[in-house]
Amino acid sequence: MTIKYRKTIFVLLLLSMLVALVYLIPANMVIPVQNASVHDWNRDTFWYQPWGKSGVHKGIDIFATMNTPVLSASEGLVVYTGRLGIGGNVVAILGGRWRLHYYAHLQSVDVRAGQWLRAAEIIGRVGNSGNAKGKPPHLHYSLLSLLPRPWRFDGSVSQGWKKMFFLDPGHELTIQQGSTRIPLAIDKTE
C-alpha cells in the first residue's frame, strides 16, 4: 500500500466518523419558543406561496409576545449568529442527523458560534427584526436536512426540489410533541 493511498483511506475514515458522529447527536425536539404550543403557528404556511422575496415559505412562524425566550429546538452546535437583511438577527444550529436549525427575526441573540447547546436552552428573544419589521413578533423557524432526501422531491409545487432539504418543522415538532407545552427553559445567561 502506498503512503498516498493510506492517507486517502485515513481521511475517508475520519470523514465518515464525523458524519456518523453528527448523525448520532440526539435529535429530540422541543417547540423553540418558551410556553408555545402547536396552536401558536399556522401549519399551512409551510411552503405557502407567494411569500415575499424567497417565493415560498420554507419554515413556520411561531407567534409570541416580544422578548419571549427562544429555545434551541434540539441539542447541537451553534454554527452561525449574525444580522441578515431578510432574517434580521439569526442563529443557525447544527443538530443531530445533520439537520440545520435556523432561527430568524430575533430581538436579541444570547449565544455565540461554537457554543454547544442542549435542547431547550435559551438562544435569544422573540422579535421582529429583518423583514418582519412592523409585523407582530414571531420566530421564523426552518429545519434543513444537509443530507438530501431525494424521495421528497415534489414536482407539483414551486421550488419543489428544495423539499429534498427543507423539512416541515411543524410536522417534526408535532410528531414528537403532540400538543404538550414546554414547562421550563434552561437559561445559561441567568
Task: Report the interface residues with Zn ion, using CB under 5 A.
Answer: 61, 140
The closest alpha carbon to 69, from 29, 120, 117, belongs to: 120
**Which of residues 125 and 140 has its CB atom nearest to Zn ion in the complex?**
140
DSSP category for residue 99: E
Shortest spacing between CB 5 and Zn ion, in angstroms: 49
3-state secondary structure of 163: helix
**Which of residues 89 and 115 has its CB atom nearest to Zn ion in the complex?**
89
Shortest spacing between CB 17 and Zn ion, in angstroms: 36
Q: Does an H or E element contain 103, and which?
A: strand 99-109
Residue type, 8: T
Shortest spacing between CB 21 and Zn ion, in angstroms: 31
**Which of residues 99 and 105 has its CB atom nearest to Zn ion in the complex?**
105
The closest alpha carbon to 69, from 36, 39, 93, belongs to: 36
**Which of residues 61 and 75 has its CB atom nearest to Zn ion in the complex?**
61
Neighbours of 180 (CB within 10 A): 11
Shortest spacing between CB 84 and Zn ion, in angstroms: 13
What the block records as the C-alpha cell of 188 is 445559561
**Which of residues 41 and 95 has its CB atom nearest to Zn ion in the complex?**
41
The closest alpha carbon to 103, from 55, 76, 71, belongs to: 71
- Phi-psi category of 40—alpha, beta or left, where left has phi over 0 and alpha has psi -120 to 50? alpha
**Which of residues 77 and 159 has its CB atom nearest to Zn ion in the complex?**
159
Residue nearest Zn ion, CB atom distance: 140
Neighbours of 100 (CB within 10 A): 18
Shortest spacing between CB 2 and Zn ion, in angstroms: 53
Shortest spacing between CB 95 and Zn ion, in angstroms: 19
Judge contact between 129 and 103, C-beta under 8 A.
no
